[in-house]
Amino acid sequence: MDLSFTPEEIAFRDEVRAFFADEYPADIREKVNRGIRLDKDDHVRWQKILAQHGYMGVNWPVEYGGTGWSPVQKYLFSIEMANANAPDVVPFGVNMVGPVIYSYGNEAQKQRFLPDILESNVWWCQGYSEPGAGSDLASLKTMAVRDGDHYVINGTKTWTTLGQHAEWIFLLARTNTDVARRQEGISFILADMSTPGITVRPIITIEGGHEVNEVHFEDARVPVENLVGEEGRGWTYGKVLLQHERTNIAGVARSKYRLARLKELASSSQHGAKPLMEQATFRGKLVATEVALKALEYTDLRTLAAVATGKAPGPESSILKIKGTEMQQRLDTLYMEAAGYYALPYVPDQFTLDAADDDVVVDSSEPTTALRYFNYRKASIYGGSNEIQKNIIAKHVLGL
């Protein structure tokens, strides 16, 4: 693995760095720096800026408007984005359903959906999980029954992230129950959220935020033309999408940024007290975390190097998902220690701009440290829980 960058790659990095310095809107930057939740308009505005500069379809082929970047360019872009503390792209459109549509959709679907995904004109959500089907997704019960030119859909999806903003949902539904294996007879369908019979109900998470939802389908009629690929082959398409999701979840660049920021926080003296960094126990934990993060970064780079030579990410995406999310949670724990009693108050409203009062705290993001700590318990569950990733590794790497 050659880790030195070419002059062209360094020029690319400088160009991207300048983009984040010049084009990242100051008001969104301030919200992110203060740990304040972004609203839908913030995300859409930022993603449209990325799209205008051709930076949205990072993983897309050029023919569909993608960047055509090499794995190294993608890596450099993610590092610069994290260092600017710019918000991640909401993944459901561009990172999830987009690749399924350009890989398996028909020409009409590509023309209808891909440009709007790239330009963030339409907000998508992911309808896979159900109350009785999470890790064991193949047991999903949502039915799509053919009636003329429509599917009539009935069932409940759950944990649907940011579904309250979504104009469209991509879902896995059963179109055939007379099958030998449960994975057969599942189809990948796109549905307009304004279809009569589709309702969204909020789920409030442990820190008090509204990020996830239930989506109910009651005799929702969806045109058959919204079926992607072949009927009954949705499981195959859905699995491809999950691999994309898992590699992205690792968030190595973001963790590097957060570690650097944590070091600054722990090195500063607050109200005349000795900096936390001077405590050997805390310093020991920080150093161990830094070493583990370096190891994770090299695993990420090794995967990138393999992808650059034409290999698809296989079980590596499971390894990155486990280690990446464990790292995020480890950092959250250290942030809690560093913030000390400033992290204690439970103030869900601190996630909103009006309520964030930086007079009472040493660092303006402290009131959201505890909220983030609790919110990010999700990281080892979503995208396929870490226990399930271990099963995948056992099967594919260890042959168990």
Q: What residues line the site for ligand FAD (CB under 6 A)?
A: 126-129, 134-135, 159-161, 212, 378, 381-382, 384-385, 387-388, 391
Smallest gap from residue 184 Cβ to ligand FAD (A): 20
Tokens, residue 249:
């979840």
Burial class (CB in 10 A: 0-12, 13-18, 19+), 130: buried
Catalytic residue among 80, 211, 245, 316: 245
d(CA 14, CA 228): 40
Name which of 297 and 332 has its Cβ closer to ligand FAD: 332
d(CA 159, CA 126): 9
Give all strands (DSSP E) within 121-233, no chain letters: 124-127, 143-147, 150-157, 168-174, 186-192, 198-204, 210-223, 227-228
Q: CA 230, 232, 235, 240: dihedral to nearest 10 degrees?
A: 0
Task: Residue 104: name the closest of 224, 222, 236, 223 by CA.
Answer: 236
Smallest gap from residue 264 Cβ to ligand FAD (A): 29
Residues counted in the chain:
400
d(CA 300, CA 252): 8
List CB contacts of 357: < 8 A, sequence separation 6 or more. none
Name which of 165 and 378 has its Cβ closer to ligand FAD: 378
Query: What residue is closest to ligand FAD based on CB?
Result: 134
Catalytic site residue 245? yes
Smallest gap from residue 317 Cβ to ligand FAD (A): 15
Query: What is the three-class DSSP state of 125?
Result: strand
Name which of 66 and 383 has its Cβ closer to ligand FAD: 383
Q: Angle 252-267/316-339 helices, nearest 10 degrees?
A: 20
Under a CB-based contact definition with an 8 Å cutoff, are residues 266 and 277 in contact? yes
d(CA 338, CA 388): 32
Smallest gap from residue 281 Cβ to ligand FAD (A): 30
Q: CA 109, 70, 120, 245: dihedral to nearest 10 degrees?
A: 80
Smallest gap from residue 321 Cβ to ligand FAD (A): 11
Active-site residue numbers? 245
